[in-house]
Structure 1
Amino acid sequence: MNVETIWKQYQQSLKAFLHKNVANPADVDDLLQEILIKTYHNLATVQDTKKIKSWLFQIANHTIIDFYRKRGRQLEVHSEDLWFDEQQVSLTTELAQCVAPFIDGLPEQDAKLLRAIEIDGMSQKEFAQKEGIKYSTLKSRVQKSRQKLFGVFNQCCEFSIDAQGNVMDYQKRQSDCGCK
């Protein structure tokens, strides 16, 4: 496990993460350099090589927080400088745009169910009433359909998930999964 290899593998993902969370593009390179230095100094503390990616993104997140804290003490902050004030596309929103073709690849019953609940935002109770299905039965079907969808995703993408189960990042798998 060396810094050069890790940096080559994750530098672009980290840079994209910084661009999503920092309003001024000129600050992104400075923060990326800071993350590299922190990685170099602290890499020996990582014991599980499978957690390198989440560890790097945790460093990136803390670096962004420190950056805004330090800046807040030095400058008067204007609303255009705040990354959270901008209407940016979140990782979840990006993935949502890609979900429909995967859902359409599922069996028709699963696709109809997930499209209504996950894409159109219909409540499960409302869908159950509309389709004349018991609510408890529908909840079970939703879970099974989600598992099928996850199986399709997992063939094509590798996900970094935080402790709460939220997607932090994703990468296309090297092998061809048959998706476009």
Structure 2
Amino acid sequence: MILDEVTIQELKTSNNKTFEKIYQETVRGVYSMVFSIIRNHTVTEDLVQDIYMRMLVKIDQYRLNSNFYNWLLQIAKHIAIDYYRKNKRTLLVDISDIDLFNRSAGETPDQSEYFMSLMNKLNQKERMIVLLKVVDEKTHQEIADMLQMKLGTVLWIYQKAIKKLGEEV
């Protein structure tokens, strides 16, 4: 996703239609990125709101003809890491908002207890890559671009994570 000058001006002038379109196209990836670091649904939802507010404040820093989605994911990653560093002693996985007995059709995979237990077996980078691949359905190349890593490294980490998860199943 590359934004042009017109779209940026619309965001600056608080055009709700433009913001809503960008939000709908990017929220899954932003949520996955933050959740892979924080592992708490309630905090992740709050941070996602902060990320979009920060995006609007810093829209002037976006370079034209660059990948907006990657730029937004970098903001998400930095905010999540900052939050994690400040709160790592008190941050726990919030299972209280997960209703394991009343699963609705719209439930995301990261809301199941089993999925949570598997994700806890992975380190932060493995979890981030697996969530972007499985939940957000990104390609390995897109993940490499988002995380500013080499494609081979992403593939290696993903394969290692899948192998680790396979041993648990």
TM-score, length-scaled by structure 2: 0.48
Structure with the larger RCO, 1 or 2 (CA within 8 Å, 6+ apart): 2
The structure where strand makes up a greater share of residues is 1
TM-score, length-scaled by structure 1: 0.46
Larger radius of gyration: 1
